[in-house]
Structure 1
């Protein structure tokens, strides 16, 4: 075990659009990073090398977020490398769209496994392991408030993320650990852009008063705030959406 005074963050889905931006942003703040990935080791290794090239410390850890054994092993690896964990940012998630009336229930189960069970498993590990002064930030979605057609099942899964986040914040009374959720609006990530034509993207870009889609960096900024100086924000969902809702 390597003891360090540097704060340590584990970012699940750390190679995705928002996850990668969070890794880069927390590295700027001096965190040592654990970049979690589910399947793309090469992308995780590239992310680690990018942090190291800027003088930071990082490792890659693997595992299915919904598998409690795999995620316990991932947390073990982070603690073995850095001596502890101060911040967990849970960006891992999937989005499968369909009207509720015609949704394939296998797709519902897939989203439930990753978005709900996965968030629960990671939150459970974080609740057990975060050091005093730590923070857990889960990622919800502003789609829980927007009522967009075809997003019903996805929004439902993210509503569950918010519910467990706000309850956990109260359950950790006395541990000096904050628990919050960040709820992005339409954000230009590969996950969000997939399957949308230019007309749809143009309409979404105009929906917010700022008249653009969010960027992964827009979402990483409030996450970094909650991970660092925002110690008096606890048990909240922060809507990072440019004013769309």
Structure 2
């Protein structure tokens, strides 16, 4: 299962170039087409594979010879490239070049491996709303409503080659009752929307502060009471001794 987006074709003299983005899910077969005018004579078809997280490799085919130093899962199939049992490490740019009697055709296919992230919106340890998209590929995009300049977003590459995006909203600088986090990702049919009520969130986030303040007040008043009680006791003992 695969699907592509954003094809742009530019023509200059006898060289035709095209670019397309193809998305597939891990474990499926990706078929990357090399668009060209077949003509009457095919001289050479070459695929240059530039993987984002691995070494590059090359597949070349002529009428009399062939060369392939890529993975055994990557197969040249009638000019197209077939990738069996796709992995996250297959993500990258695949450029084919066809030379025949009608000209030179050069195409770049950007292969993205789709992994749907898990999303959440919670109050972090600093009492701030934090929206997360964990374990996704490619990197998810996060936006907030209402918009703010006081948003910090970072992306972290995980050991399994997926991405985690964490976006923190400094809502202490605003006075909104509700915040909305919207997560965009190609694996989602629609963007994911999560809302949080600020009043309830901040009561929860600040409850620890109020507990500490109340304990401090109790200790303070207890100390004052004890000190006054001690003074009264000393004064009473002094009068009795007189």
Q: TM-score range by the shorter chain?
A: under 0.3
Query: What TM-score does the superposition give when structure 2 sets the normalisation length?
Result: 0.24
In our comparison, the structure showing a higher alpha carbon Rg is: 2
| Structure holding more helix per residue | 1
| Higher RCO by CA contacts (8 Å cutoff, separation 6 or greater) | 1
Query: What TM-score does the superposition give when structure 1 sets the normalisation length?
Result: 0.24
